[in-house]
Every structure is written in C-alpha cells, then in structure tokens.
Amino acid sequence: MTQFEELVDVYNRPLYRFALSLVRDMDRAVDLVTQTFVIWSRRGAENLEREKVHTGLFSALYREHLGRFGSQGDTLRKAMPSAAAVSSKPGDLVEPLGSLGPDLLPTLTLFYLQRHDYREIATILDLPVGTVMAQISKGKEQLRRRDAEENNE
C-alpha cells in the first residue's frame, strides 16, 4: 500500500463525517471527500508530519466546501441524516448538532465528532483561537437550551 493509499484509508471516514455534517447530503459529502484527496494528492504533501496531515486534510475539505457553497453553506439543505447513516459512536450528537446555525456547525462538529482541540479547529477553519472558544461556548449553550426544551415537553 502506498503512503497515499494509507492516508485515504485512515482519513476517509473522519473526513466523510465532517463533510456530511457540513452539507447534510451523502452524495455531496462523498464528492467533497474525493475532491479533498484529489487536492491533497496534487500537493504531494503526504510526507508531512501526521499532525500537519490531519489538520491539512480537514482544512482542505473545509476550504473546498466554502468554495462550493459559500460561508453560509447550502441553503437548500436536506434533513440531517440519522446517526446510523454516519455510523459513529458519538452519533447521539448528529441530530442536535444539525440544529445549530451554519456559523457554529463546523466548529462544534470538529470539536464533538472529530475530537479536535481548540488550536486544531482554529487552524482548520482559519479562525483565532478565542473565536473558536467563543463559538464552542455558544454552541454548548444552544445545545443545553435545546435539550432543556425537549425535556420539558
């Protein structure tokens, strides 16, 4: 197996989950991931340190998403796929994260589903660390509020 094939093998699933959280459409998510690997292969950057590869791939995917759909994302989004469609252990968060606005969704997805730390998220999304921290705090509050409302029904 080549280095690039190993890279695809390791990162395909986490990139797909991130892409799916952004576009909420399986076909578009697969397309974003595929394009991310195409971009990455053209860079010839597979010899980078593991940490740089990790953040670099997520950054490339996010930039490709912004290039296609703009900063507001796809305005005609379909319903958030079920946890089974994403098949992730933290699947219970998929639906609640889908209720967040497009300004918070990428940050909270990287934080909860991909388990990135503040600095990695800041690098991937090209935001100051303080902004990332504020978005996570705001997103957590929205999720708590949503949970409280659902429990009161």
Q: DSSP 3-state assignment of 45?
A: coil
Compare 83 and 105 and report the one with higher pLDDT: 105
**Average pLDDT of the chain to the nearest whole number:** 80
Average pLDDT over residues 13-35: 92
Give percent of the chain above pLDDT 70.
80
Domain range list for the chain: 1-72, 89-153
- Smallest CA-to-CA distance from 82 within 94, 74, 98 is with 94
Question: Residue 86: which pLDDT band, with cuts at 50, 70 and 90?
Answer: very low
The two structure tokens encoding residue 44:
């010839």
In this predicted structure, the answer to whether residue 113 has a pLDDT above a threshold of 90 is: no
Contact 64, 34 (CB under 8 A): no
Q: What CATH number does domain 89-153 carry, 3.60.15.10, 1.10.8.350, 1.20.1560.10, 1.10.10.10?
A: 1.10.10.10
Stretch among 19-28, 47-56, 71-80, 137-146 having the lowest mean pLDDT: 71-80
pTM for the model: 0.67
Q: Is 116:81 a contact under the CB 8 Å cutoff?
A: no
Q: How many CA atoms lie within 13 Å of 43's alpha carbon, on the beta-carbon side?
A: 15
Quote the tokens at residue 5.
């094939």
pLDDT > 60? residue 87:
no
Instruction: Outline where 24-128 has alpha helix (H).
Output: 26-43, 50-69, 83-86, 94-98, 105-112, 118-125
Query: For the residues 115-123, what does the mean pLDDT come to?
Result: 91
Query: Degrees (nearest 5) of the Cα angle 18, 24, 26?
Result: 85
54-80 per-position pLDDT tens digit? 888 999 999 999 888 775 444 333 333
As a whole number of angstroms, the distance between CA 6 and CA 27 comes to 23
- Coil, helix or strand for 46? coil
- Cβ atoms of residues 108 and 146 within 8 Å: no
